[in-house]
Amino acid sequence: MVATLAVASLLSAADLKVGKPLTLKEPISVGTLVSHSDEYSGKTVQVEGKITEVCQAMGCWLDLVNDEGQKVRINAHEGGLEFPKDSVGKMAVAEGIFSKSEMTRDEVVAQAKEEAKEKGKNFDPASIKKGMTMYEIKGTGAVIVSK
């Protein structure tokens, strides 16, 4: 009940709603989602975290993190969402279908190269040493908290 009240207090009329309305009663933390990723894979989840990056080309994804640096990417492509490019530093609650995928080094290099291009930055493929696990939500809706 305390968590529900905390979330209710986070969301207000001034908050920016993106996509469809959120349907689940209460979000889980990024840490819980990552720690129990196999349990949540393929299911609709609602997660809350701090926005650390947003696609600067089209607002087509954002990254939510927790205090421990664990990250989940909210992908807006399939849900027809567009995230505001100036959302970094704000808190958000996002909902959609969760997936976990193992990426090879080559896949990580390709993704990092694309992101660097979007940001107008240089990229050195040698900076990527190995593959990684990608945690992603195919977003259907989100609320970016105005506070």
Query: Which one-letter DSSP state was computed for residue 21?
Result: P
d(CA 50, CA 146): 12
- Closest listed residue to residue 75, CA positions, set 104, 106, 39, 111: 111
Quick one: which of 87, 104, 99, 96 has its CA closest to 146?
Answer: 87
Which residues are bridge partners to 143 per DSSP? 17, 93
Q: What is the pLDDT of residues 77-121, one digit of tens each?
A: 777 889 999 999 999 999 999 999 999 999 999 988 988 887 788
Residue 40, pLDDT score: 97
Q: How many whole angstroms separate alpha carbon 38 and alpha carbon 144?
A: 27
Domains of the chain, CATH where assigned: 16-144 (2.40.50.140)
Tens of pLDDT, residues 24-70: 999 999 999 999 999 999 999 999 999 999 988 888 899 999 999 99
Give the pLDDT confidence score for residue 72 in this predicted structure.
97
Task: Decide the pairing of beta strands 91-103 and 71-75.
Answer: unpaired
Q: What would the two tokens of residue 68 be? A: 């421990």
pTM: 0.81
The separation between CA 79 and the C-alpha centre of its own chain, rounded to angstroms, equals 13
Q: What is the mean pLDDT of the chain?
A: 88
